[in-house]
């Protein structure tokens, strides 16, 4: 197995980017052709909103870093308000309903309500409901601890703890969050998947890692890619960079625009998707036809050579803003 999947070694930004590149080169959404000349560099995003009709914001690396908001985020919301520009949030967090984040954003002074928050959990929920509609007998097992299952999806739902019999009978494994997930859990999962080649793995959070307290955590995207590498299990990636998450975010943005008195449908090409990752935020935005904006000063790409990273990945944002 590739050393990229060595769990005895800590994840880094470089390793995270290499894993994204490895997986999405073969399995990512279609990407429009682009060149380095397509990128427009600006110092501050809040000074470059002309021509946009709405904003979709990633959470980590755009709105906040861990437990603190990023300086300038309130100014960005003020600038959007002055233009009557609707703003929603699209995050790959999937363990709990995104609405649970409402209070946290409001504590930071942000004008965010539950309807403004879309997550990869919502896209996962959509997938699972469709699966049950197509196959009422489908059996699921949730992976990861401290996750909230989808209570409105009927059927035999097995818990996160390893159970040889139940895991052997599962048609789908749903991986919403990786808190508490260890190498031994992964070994049990890969063994179960090897014995049940029909089973599929639904990755509710496609992120490989998340920066926490100066290090990088192993997220469901990492463990899913590892299972795919080890036993060839088919992955269903339910969040960014894939289209269903962006479709849900655009629908939420359109509803907000209508509440703000904007009568005409929003043009996708004038909706700015702002994120800190080339392989999730920008790849997804470009493939979905949105205006892709990389915020380079705070999250995954902070301190990296954007020109070099864009050429290596062949993912070219429409705009690169260093700061909010």
pLDDT exceeds cutoff 70 at 225: yes
Q: Are residues 212 and 311 in the same domain?
A: no
For residue 135, the model assigns a pLDDT of: 93
Asked, for residue 7, whether it belongs to a domain, the answer is no
Least confident span in 100-104, 160-164, 277-281: 160-164
Could you report the per-residue pLDDT of 30-70, keeping only the tens digit for each? 998 889 999 999 999 988 899 999 999 999 999 998 788 99
Q: Are residues 250 and 110 in the same domain?
A: yes
For residue 157, the model assigns a pLDDT of: 63
- b/e string for 159-181 if b means 16 or more Cβ within 10 A? ebebeeebbeebbbbbbbbbeeb
The SS3 call for residue 46 is helix
For residue 97, the model assigns a pLDDT of: 86
For residue 23, the model assigns a pLDDT of: 96
- The neighbour count for residue 213, using CB atoms within 10 Å, is 7
Q: Distance of CA 151 to CAs 137, 155, 205, Å? A: 16, 10, 19
Percent of the chain with pLDDT over 90: 80
Asked, for residue 182, whether it belongs to a domain, the answer is yes
pLDDT exceeds cutoff 80 at 223: yes
pLDDT exceeds cutoff 90 at 83: yes
Beta strands at 209-212 and 215-218: parallel, antiparallel or unpaired: antiparallel
CATH code for the domain in which residue 138 is found:
3.40.50.1000
* Stated pTM of the model: 0.95
Which residue would you say has higher pLDDT here, 285 or 159? 285
CA 207 to chain centre: 6
For residue 160, the model assigns a pLDDT of: 66
pLDDT exceeds cutoff 90 at 242: yes
Alpha helix positions (H), the chain: 13-27, 73-82, 102-107, 120-134, 164-169, 183-195, 220-231, 243-259, 283-288, 306-313
CA angle 5, 7, 12 (to 5 degrees): 75
Model confidence band, residue 154 (pLDDT cutoffs 50, 70, 90): low
Domain count within the chain: 2
Q: How far apart (Å, rounded) are the C-alpha atoms in residues 17 and 122?
A: 25
For residue 310, give its domain range.
13-42+57-120+243-270+285-315
pLDDT exceeds cutoff 90 at 73: yes
Model confidence band, residue 147 (pLDDT cutoffs 50, 70, 90): confident
């Amino acid at each position: 197995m590739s050393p990229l999947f060595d769990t005895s070694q800590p994840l880094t930004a470089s390793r995270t980017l290499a894993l994204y590149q490895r997986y999405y080169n073969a399995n990512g959404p279609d990407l429009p052709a682009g060149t380095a000349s397509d990128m427009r560099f600006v110092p501050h995003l809040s000074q470059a909103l002309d021509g946009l009709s709405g904003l979709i914001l990633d959470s980590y690396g755009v709105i906040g870093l861990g437990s603190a908001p990023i300086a300038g985020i309130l100014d960005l919301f003020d600038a959007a308000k002055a233009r009557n520009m609707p703003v929603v949030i699209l995050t790959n967090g999937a363990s709990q309903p995104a609405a649970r984040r409402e209070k946290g954003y409001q504590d930071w002074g942000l004008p965010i309500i539950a309807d403004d928050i879309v997550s990869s959990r919502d896209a996962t929920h959509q997938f699972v409901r469709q699966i049950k509609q197509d196959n009422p007998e489908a059996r699921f097992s949730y992976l990861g601890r401290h996750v909230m299952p989808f209570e409105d999806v009927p059927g035999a739902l097995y818990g996160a703890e390893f159970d040889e019999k139940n895991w052997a009978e599962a048609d789908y494994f749903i991986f919403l969050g990786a808190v508490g997930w260890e190498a031994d859990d992964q070994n049990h999962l890969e063994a179960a998947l090897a014995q049940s080649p029909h089973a599929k793995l639904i990755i509710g959070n496609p992120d490989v890692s998340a920066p926490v307290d100066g290090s990088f955590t192993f997220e469901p995207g990492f463990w899913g890619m590892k299972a795919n590498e080890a036993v060839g299990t088919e992955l269903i990636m339910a969040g960014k960079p894939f289209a269903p998450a962006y479709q849900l975010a655009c629908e939420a943005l359109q509803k907000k625009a209508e509440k703000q008195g904007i009568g005409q449908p929003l043009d996708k090409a004038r909706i700015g998707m702002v994120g800190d990752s080339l392989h999730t935020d920008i790849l997804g935005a470009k493939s979905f036809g949105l205006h892709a904006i990389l915020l380079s000063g705070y999250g995954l790409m902070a301190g990296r050579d954007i020109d070099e990273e864009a050429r290596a990945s062949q993912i070219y944002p429409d705009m690169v803003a260093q700061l909010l």
